[in-house]
Structure 1
Amino acid sequence: MKLNKYLIGEILSLLAFSVFTIIAIKNEQISMFYLVYLFWMDEFLKTIFNFLNYFFNRSNIPNPLVYKKMAKSRLFMLSIYFVFIIVFFGFIIDWKSSDTVLGNFGVFFFKNAFFNLSVTVFLLREIYEFYYGLKNIQNSPYTIFSKGLITLHLSLLLGIFTWAFFNGKFGDFNLDIGSYKTIVAIIPFIIIKLIFEIMEIKQRTPKSLDNIH
């Protein structure tokens, strides 16, 4: 029963993210910055709750010092990524489109409703899992090699490649698909996110079973 609650929280979060992203695409309120920053925000929230687990659920952590060290490493890495995401994805890749840059500003200052809804869902998921974590349902710390951070790593690399691919940075090759450029560019991000989220759910599920018995 407890395991089912854990899976429900993860699956509902993933479904909500997918729905809000599709609606954002339909309403043309999405960009590469939107997705990469959303992935960063997801990992940032997980890291914050790692620290909360350390301070309030330490008795259920097998090795608290290692747990805290990993959380600090994640936070440091995310801090570096934050600057890169804001500068490169927020400004550089879209500097020719003032509308997109303004839209990125809107996302950063939480003026984009779909982005805000997605972040709220991620936050509710963490609160939900933190609450049940206090009851020994799930106590597996996210590490710097977690599926979520791998998703962020790949998204950064993919974003740079996509930007170069669609802007003629590979010699004379320049693929021009007009208004479909944004949609084509962000689809791989969504696929990567879904794949690694599902992998992480499967990876963490056996640990939940161990805590139940």
Structure 2
Amino acid sequence: MSSISSILDKHTKHYALWDFLIFFLITTLSILNGNTTVFYIIFFFWWHELIRIIIDRFCYKMNKNATLGNHKKTGIFSSFIQMGVYFIFIVVFFAFMTNWKNQDLIQTNMKILFFKNWFFNANLVFVAVERTLLHYTQQPLKVFFGNFTPNMLILHVSIILGIILMLFVVRNFPEIFTPNNLWGSVIIVSPFLLIRALILRFKLKT
């Protein structure tokens, strides 16, 4: 049992990198199978934060190395309200409006929304297992509850930038961003991926 714990401890110390690599692998497979959209990526990280909030709330007291952020807030009701607002914006803008003239992508988004995309589901399972293991192996984690956790801020900024790019860039150049190519999706999701990459780089340096 101790050997298993030591193996888990060794790998979970680099959980940020593992998190990125597993997401990259599963998402790449999804792209190759034509099952990934802007909505897939944004909605995944929405679920990522929701899963983190729920697991942290139940497990942080068992992890002696977990510390509270957000002025020691432990309530999650306000987190759920905030996540509910993000859910509406993500579904409306990224599941429908960004792909309004492409029925194939809308159908793909509906499969993601209703958990009929197995690549998406596999990513969510990994997130839940990983977060649970981090607490189980007593990793030093800073947990956040309440409004505007760090991950919520990333979602917030990404949603705003994505909507701005969609309304003022993608729609103003229809000859470039056509329904038959994915350049519009690439532009819309790029701020989010850039922010995530910068945060990963920061975590790996610390």
Indicate whether the TM-score tops 0.5: yes
Q: Distance in 2 between matches of 1:175 and 1:196?
A: 34
**Equivalent of 2:127 in 109, 122, 127:** 122
Secondary structure of 2:143's partner? coil
**Equivalent of 2:197 in 187, 194, 198:** 194
Q: Percent identity?
A: 24
Contact 1:132 1:138 in 2 (8 A): no
Q: Distance in 2 between matches of 1:11 and 1:79?
A: 28
Deviation at residue 201 of structure 1 after TM alignment: 5.9
> In the alignment, does 2:24 pair up with 1:21?
no
Q: Where do residues 1-20 of structure 1 align in structure 2 (5 Å cutoff)?
A: 4-20=10-26
Q: Distance in 1 between matches of 2:68 and 2:11?
A: 26
Aligned to 1:81: 86
Q: Where do residues 199-210 of structure 1 align in structure 2 (5 Å cutoff)?
A: 199-200=202-203
**Equivalent of 2:52 in 43, 46, 50:** 46
Q: Where do residues 105-144 of structure 1 align in structure 2 (5 Å cutoff)?
A: 105-133=110-138, 137-143=139-145, 144=147
Scaled by the length of structure 1, the TM-score of the pair is: 0.75
Structure 1 gaps of 5+ residues are 204-213
Q: Note the aligned Cα RMSD (angstroms).
A: 3.0
Aligned amino acid, residue 199 of structure 1? F
Aligned amino acid, residue 46 of structure 1? R
**Equivalent of 1:92 in 74, 78, 97:** 97
Paired residues, number: 194
> In the alignment, does 2:159 pair up with 1:166?
no
- The structure-2 alpha-carbon separation of the partners of 1:90 and 1:4, relative to structure 1 and needing over 3 Å to count, comes to same
Secondary structure of 1:68's partner? coil
Contact 1:45 1:122 in 2 (8 A): yes
Scaled by the length of structure 2, the TM-score of the pair is: 0.78
